[in-house]
Structure 1
Amino acid sequence: RNGWKQLEAVQQKKAEEQKEFGPIDYDAPAESDKKTIGLGTQIGVGVAVVVFGLVFALGDFLPSGSTNPPEEAAVIDKKLSNEEKATLQTRLKQFEAMLSISPKDPTALEGAAVTLTELGDYARAASLLQDLAKEKTSDPDVFRLLGEVKYALKDYDGSAAAYKLSAMVSKDVNFEVLRGLTNALLAAKRPDEAVQFLLSSRERMNSERLNRPNLKADSNKMETELQKVDPIQVDFLLGKAYSDWGHVSDAVAVYDQLISSHPNDFRGYLAKGIILKENGNVGDAERMFIQARFFAPEKAKALVDRYSRQ
């Protein structure tokens, strides 16, 4: 038990350091609720996005200007200490022992898959997650983590397929799935599908806002659910997808709308500046960068400078 406490303390310290010193994420989604399963540790696919170490920086929302998957969407390799590795390997053996007795046990499959993900063994994690998906066919978190693992393995089509299943079985629009599927489709050179998916998701969000009954309890629940997805974030992803697709005017129109509706948000100016510069409109791009720098919070000004100089 002391080992679990030490691991949790180390993970918490790393998380705090990453928040302070890591890539700036101005739109960090709310953390998922932790699931507690056996062996005295908190673990599960619901929190594996934190365990997995996927870091999506501001660049995740901006036009990439590159045919390669964005660096910001790549998996950040975790440097595990020997103690952490030993703890994880011990935990894995316990789950594997459970699986040797009951190969389809969902708790053991889930625990082993997440532990393998923590250890960076994505191929084995993917295999177990596929087995788990057969047992938990309606759990969107299982398919979401499978999408992340497949992305780490550079199986972008497989990643997109998993994210689509997650979206299909989920009752709500989940931003982690929106972002993950968008990145997977763009990496798979399928930007048209990314655009269509984002447009339909945006339509679904708007429809849910308008059509839910006006009962107070239900209204409060709806607000909580919809707060998980910021429409501005969806629009930034849409602009990026249009940009990757080569539909520059559509991307610019999205950014113009964002600037109009959120004139104090530096990201709209920055995104528009990047796409204008990529397409040779240097003068107008520079004006956008000046605006972006003016509205950017202090810690983001250097980031604006970096993009403006590229």
Structure 2
Amino acid sequence: MRLVILMFLAFASFTVVAQEKIQKEINYIRSFRKEPGRIVVELGVKPRLCFVPTKSNPNYVKFNALLQSYQKKENLYEIGIEEQTGHIKTLRILNRSETAENQSIKPFFPAAVAAVSASQFPKKYYDEALELYNKKQYQEAIETVTKSIEINTQDPEYHQLKALCLAGLGQYKDSTDEAEYALEMDRANPELYELIANNYYFLRDNENAIKNYEKAIEYDINIIVRIYHNYIKCLIDIPSPQRAIEVYKLYKYRLDSPNNYGDDSGNLADDLEFYAGQAYQQIADFRTAAEIYDRLIVVHPNVYGYRAQRGRLYQEKGELPAAIRDFEIALKLDENENILLTNLATIYQELHDYKKAEAAYNEYLIKNPDDAVQTSNYGYLLLDEGHYKEAQAKFEASFKTDDKSIDTHIGRILSAYLLGDSRKKNIFITAAKSQFPEIEINAATLNALIITGNYYYSEKIIEIWKEALN
């Protein structure tokens, strides 16, 4: 019996031929499928798709013949892939000595067989523990499944359940140790790799999270939607959008397989699509991102997250009226997610509708008075309007909450300058230099901060800053 896990999160050798932009690697081939105009090839290690085009390809017949033997477990390939297109440019089967040198790349095929126990008690305790786990009674579940383990230490499912319970208690390191013990008995279990990856994700160890998510999708044969959902979420958080898109395309390819036993229905599959949309948005493929968000909103018009993210997409594209519509609808769907008020404030400021921008900031800050960042942003709005005294008050309020924001220091300097208070301006400049020795406080500071991608200042503010520092 396979344990069904209800969890939500949400290395090959490489050689690059720079002149031709071809990446060579040693890998095994998990599957291939003929489609109009091409053969789609699914690689095993770091799973992804690459292609053999049929048109104007002198290697098509040769590569097609070589691919036919992919199911032989002993076969490993050297594959040269064009980086930009994913087209296979070179392909050969490794000889015996080369294969021996790359044994670690081959997957584990045999499924684990648990040691048989003469007693019925381990199974009984396991079933009781599973019921407790599903009720989120994790400590009681651990105590119960431990009885199973004491009688039969060689059943990986018992250790897997214990690892899940430990993760449920937030004991991620202990959970990983338990899951790795289970892996010694069942090395081809994708859910164990996923569990370990989730633990590392929660520990903010992205390197090890990715390593184990890669193993999870390598060994997944049942299209467990949750695995792809969690991995893509991890990748957009890093962010690593290109790999997120590769994993998304792999997921869609596997779903379309004639041997697919997966299920792409339900909220988890919809959220997977949503995260894929964010990955496309991160690489500025706004068209594909919009298509995904549009599909989701048609099916689920009352989901806050889908509507809010499409609004952010419109805002990023500069389609401000459409962004306003989506933000206003999203705020009605979930009044607690009032951060969107700051998006509206930013848009209204850009449209020079200062009254609406102020109203949005005021409504947000009434509910979130300790948000130093947005208090400071409100200060910049007031500077734009020419309300220097009020702006200074906002920057001082922000500074009291958080004195380690360069943005707030800059606001204090600007407001003092605009109010004609040279003494305060110089005091604030000295304080900023002391707080941020790594940042040069001079006429070019704002442009330097903008280049980092983490800050934005209007042309008006930039010009005032240059005047203040010269």
Q: TM-score, normalised to structure 1's length?
A: 0.56
What secondary structure sits across from 1:39 in the alignment? Answer: helix
Matched residue, 2:279: 241
1:276-295, aligned counterparts within 5 Å?
A: 276-278=314-316, 281-292=319-330
Alpha carbons of structure 1 residues 119 and 269: separation in structure 2 relative to 1, 3 Å: closer
Say if 2:310 and 2:323, in contact at 8 Å, map to a contact too. yes
Which structure carries more helix by proportion?
1
Alpha carbons of structure 1 residues 97 and 173: separation in structure 2 relative to 1, 3 Å: closer
Q: Which amino acid aligns with 2:301?
A: D
Deviations 1:53-89 (A, max 9, x none): 8xxxxxxxxxxxxxxxxxxxxxxxxxx9xxx75x467
Deviations 1:244-276 (A, max 9, x none): 3444454234334555xx276244543211222
Instruction: Quote how far apart the aligned CAs of 1:90 are.
Output: 4.3
Matched residue, 1:153: 203
Alpha carbons of structure 1 residues 42 and 137: separation in structure 2 relative to 1, 3 Å: farther
In the alignment, which of 249, 254, 263 is matched to residue 204 of structure 1? 254
Instruction: Quote how far apart the aligned CAs of 1:192 are.
Output: 0.9
Q: Which amino acid aligns with 1:166?
A: A
Which structure carries more strand by proportion?
2
1:111-190, aligned counterparts within 5 Å?
A: 111-190=161-240
1:294-305, aligned counterparts within 5 Å?
A: 300-302=333-335
- CA distance in 2 between partners of 1:42 and 1:190 (Å): 41
- CA distance in 2 between partners of 1:159 and 1:228 (Å): 25
- CA distance in 2 between partners of 1:305 and 1:130 (Å): 42
In the alignment, which of 251, 258, 265 is matched to residue 301 of structure 2? 265
Say if 2:125 and 2:145, in contact at 8 Å, map to a contact too. no
Matched residue, 2:265: 227
Alpha carbons of structure 1 residues 131 and 40: separation in structure 2 relative to 1, 3 Å: closer
Deviations 1:266-298 (A, max 9, x none): 4454321122235554332002234556xx7xx
Q: Which amino acid aligns with 1:174?
A: I
Identity %: 15
In the alignment, which of 125, 134, 141 is matched to residue 39 of structure 1? 125
- CA distance in 1 between partners of 2:156 and 2:312 (Å): 46
Q: Which amino acid aligns with 1:302?
A: E
Alpha carbons of structure 1 residues 94 and 172: separation in structure 2 relative to 1, 3 Å: closer
Say if 2:198 and 2:209, in contact at 8 Å, map to a contact too. yes
What secondary structure sits across from 1:199 in the alignment? Answer: helix
Matched residue, 2:45: none
Q: Which amino acid aligns with 1:126?
A: T
- CA distance in 2 between partners of 1:227 and 1:190 (Å): 26
For structure 2, the residue ranges without an aligned partner over 5 or more in a row are: 1-9, 11-121, 344-470
Say if 1:109 and 1:128, in contact at 8 Å, map to a contact too. yes
For structure 1, the residue ranges without an aligned partner over 5 or more in a row are: 1-24, 26-35, 54-79, 213-220
1:307 to 2:393 alignment: no
Say if 2:210 and 2:231, in contact at 8 Å, map to a contact too. yes
Alpha carbons of structure 1 residues 160 and 37: separation in structure 2 relative to 1, 3 Å: farther
1:252 to 2:302 alignment: no
How many corresponding residue pairs?
222
1:275 to 2:350 alignment: no
Say if 2:163 and 2:179, in contact at 8 Å, map to a contact too. yes
What secondary structure sits across from 2:204 in the alignment? Answer: coil
Deviations 1:92-148 (A, max 9, x none): 76477568xx5x552553344234323322112112212212211233322222222
Q: TM-score, normalised to structure 2's length?
A: 0.39
- CA distance in 2 between partners of 1:198 and 1:226 (Å): 12
Say if 2:225 and 2:264, in contact at 8 Å, map to a contact too. no
- CA distance in 1 between partners of 2:148 and 2:247 (Å): 37
What secondary structure sits across from 1:135 in the alignment? Answer: coil
What secondary structure sits across from 2:281 in the alignment? Answer: helix
What secondary structure sits across from 1:302 in the alignment? Answer: coil
Structure scoring higher RCO (CA < 8 A, sep ≥ 6) equals 1
Q: Which amino acid aligns with 1:39?
A: Y
Q: Which amino acid aligns with 2:277?
A: G
Alpha carbons of structure 1 residues 106 and 38: separation in structure 2 relative to 1, 3 Å: farther
- CA distance in 2 between partners of 1:273 and 1:132 (Å): 45
- CA distance in 2 between partners of 1:230 and 1:117 (Å): 20
- CA distance in 1 between partners of 2:146 and 2:299 (Å): 54
